Structure 1
Amino acid sequence: MRAAVALADRVGIEALSMRKLADELGVVPMALYKHVANREELLDGMVEAIVGEIDPPTAGADWKSAVRGRVLSARRALQRHPWARQAMETRTTKTPAVLDYMDSFIGMFRAGGFSIDLTHHVMHAIGGRMWGFTQELFDDAPRPGTAPRAPMPPEAQAAMMQQMAARYPNILAVAMASAHEDSAVGQGCDDQFEFEFALDTLLDGFERLHQQGWTSARARGQATGS
Structure 2
Amino acid sequence: MTPPAERRTPLSRERVLRAAVALADDAGLESLSMRKLALELGVVPMALYKHVANKDELLDGMVDVVVGEIDPPVAGTDWKAAVRQRILSARSALQRHSWAAQVIESRTTPTPAVLAYLNSMIGLFREGGLSLDLTHHVMHAMGSRIIGFSQELFTAAPAAEPPPAAMAAQLASAFPYVAELATAAAHTADSVVGGGCDDQFEFEFALDLLLEGIERLHRRGWIPAQ
Task: Report the TM-score when normalising by structure 2.
Answer: 0.83
The answer for the alignment partner of 1:170 in structure 2 is 177
Any residues of structure 2 matched to 1:132-211 within 5 Å, and which? 132-138=148-154, 141=156, 149=158, 151-154=159-162, 156=163, 158=165, 161-179=168-186, 188-211=196-219
Any residues of structure 2 matched to 1:68-107 within 5 Å, and which? 68-107=84-123
CA distance in 1: counterparts of 2:111 and 2:103, whole angstroms: 13
State the 1:157 CA deviation: 6.2
Are positions 1:126 and 2:134 aligned together? no
State the 1:94 CA deviation: 1.4
Change in 2 beyond 3 A, CA 1:4/1:64: same
State the 1:202 CA deviation: 0.4
State the 1:93 CA deviation: 2.0
Contact 1:178 1:188 in 2 (8 A): no
CA distance in 2: counterparts of 1:163 and 1:202, whole angstroms: 37
CA distance in 1: counterparts of 2:20 and 2:66, whole angstroms: 11
Q: What are the ranges of 5 or more consecutive residues in structure 1 without an aligned counterpart?
A: 143-148, 181-186, 222-226
Contact 2:186 2:198 in 1 (8 A): no
Contact 1:50 1:77 in 2 (8 A): yes
**Residues 4-52 of structure 1, C-alpha deviation per residue, up to 9 Å, x if partnerless?**
0000001111111111111100011111111112111110000000000
Identity %: 67
**Residues 186-220 of structure 1, C-alpha deviation per residue, up to 9 Å, x if partnerless?**
x9411111111110010000000000111113xxx
The answer for the alignment partner of 1:145 in structure 2 is none
Contact 1:134 1:195 in 2 (8 A): yes
Counterpart code for 2:203: F
Higher relative contact order (CA 8 A, sep 6+): 1
The answer for the alignment partner of 2:131 in structure 1 is 115
Contact 1:71 1:130 in 2 (8 A): yes
Greater C-alpha radius of gyration: 2
The answer for the alignment partner of 1:38 in structure 2 is 54
Q: Which runs of 4+ in 1 moved over 6 A?
A: none
Counterpart code for 2:218: H
Contact 1:55 1:70 in 2 (8 A): yes
The answer for the alignment partner of 2:80 in structure 1 is 64
Counterpart code for 1:201: L
CA distance in 2: counterparts of 1:213 and 1:74, whole angstroms: 29
Report how many aligned residue pairs link the two structures.
Answer: 203
**Residues 73-125 of structure 1, C-alpha deviation per residue, up to 9 Å, x if partnerless?**
00000111111111111011212111100100000001110000000000000
CA distance in 2: counterparts of 1:136 and 1:100, whole angstroms: 25
Contact 2:125 2:135 in 1 (8 A): yes
Task: Report the TM-score when normalising by structure 1.
Answer: 0.83
State the 1:153 CA deviation: 3.2
